[in-house]
A and B are shown apart, each in its own frame.
Chain A
Amino acid sequence: MSVRSGKRQTRDYEDRALRTLLPVSVLALALMLWQGVVWLAQIPVYLLPGPLLVLATLILDWPLLSASLLVTLSTTVEGFLLATLGGVGLAILFNQSRLIEYSFYPFAVILQVTPIVAIAPLLLIYLPQQAAVLACAWIVAFFPILANTTLGLNSVDRNLSDLFRLYGATRSQVLWELKLPAALPHMLAGLRIGGGLALIGAVVAEIVAGSAGAGSGLAYRIIESGYRLNIPRLFAALFLLSLSGIVIFFALSLVSHLFLRRWHESAIMAEL
Chain B
Amino acid sequence: MKIPAASSAPRNHPIVTLRSVCKLFDTGVVALDGLTLDVRPGEFVSLLGPSGCGKSTVLRLIAGLTQPTSGQIEWLQRTQPAGDAVGFVFQEPTLMPWATVRANVTLPLKLQGLAATAQPRVEAALARVGLTAFADSYPRELSGGMKMRASIARALVTEPRLLLMDEPFAALDEITRFRLNNDLLALWQSLGKTVVFVTHSVFESVYLSQRVLVMTPRPGRICNELSIDAPYPRDERFRTSGTYVEYCRQVSETLSRALAEPP
Binding site for B on A (CB under 8 A): 157, 159-160, 162-169, 173, 177-178, 181-182, 184, 262-265, 268
Contacts and interface: CB of A to CB of B under 8 A. Distances in A.
Contact of B94 (A160, A168, A173, A262): A160
Given A177-B111, A263-B140, A268-B140, A166 B64 contact: yes
B98 A163 contact: no
A204 B65 CA distance: 52
Nearest to A170: B111
B96 A160 contact: yes
Given A159-B90, A181-B96, A181-B98, A173 B111 contact: yes
Contacts of A168: 83, 111-112
B94 A167 contact: no
Contacts of A167: 83, 107-108, 111-112, 158
Contacts of B83: 166-168
B94 A159 contact: yes
5 contacts: A167-B108, A167-B158, A169-B111, A173-B111, A177-B107
Contacts of B139: 263
Residue of B60, B139, B140 ringed by the most chain A CB atoms within 10 A: B140
Given A159-B92, A262-B138, A164 B111 contact: yes
Interface in B37-65: 60, 63-65
B152 interface: no
Given A165-B65, A166-B83, 17 more contacts: A160-B96, A162-B60, A162-B65, A162-B88, A163-B88, A164-B111, A168-B83, A169-B111, A173-B111, A177-B110, A177-B111, A181-B96, A181-B98, A262-B98, A263-B97, A263-B98, A268-B140
Contacts, number: 55
B94 A163 contact: yes
A160 B94 CA distance: 6
Contacts of A265: 140
A165 B111 CA distance: 10
Contacts of A173: 111
B135 interface: no
List the 9 closest A-B pairs by CB distance, nearest first: A167-B111, A159-B94, A168-B83, A181-B98, A169-B111, A159-B90, A167-B83, A263-B97, A167-B108
Contacts of B97: 263-264
A164 B139 CA distance: 18
B122 interface: no
Given A162-B65, A166-B86, A178 B138 contact: no
Contacts of B158: 167
Interface in B114-160: 138-140, 158
Contacts of A184: 98
B38 to A, nearest CB: 21
Contacts of B112: 167-168
Contacts of B108: 167
A178 B92 contact: no
Contacts of B64: 166
A235 B20 CA distance: 80
Nearest to A181: B98
B176 to A, nearest CB: 20
Interface in B86-114: 86, 88, 90, 92, 94, 96-99, 107-108, 110-112
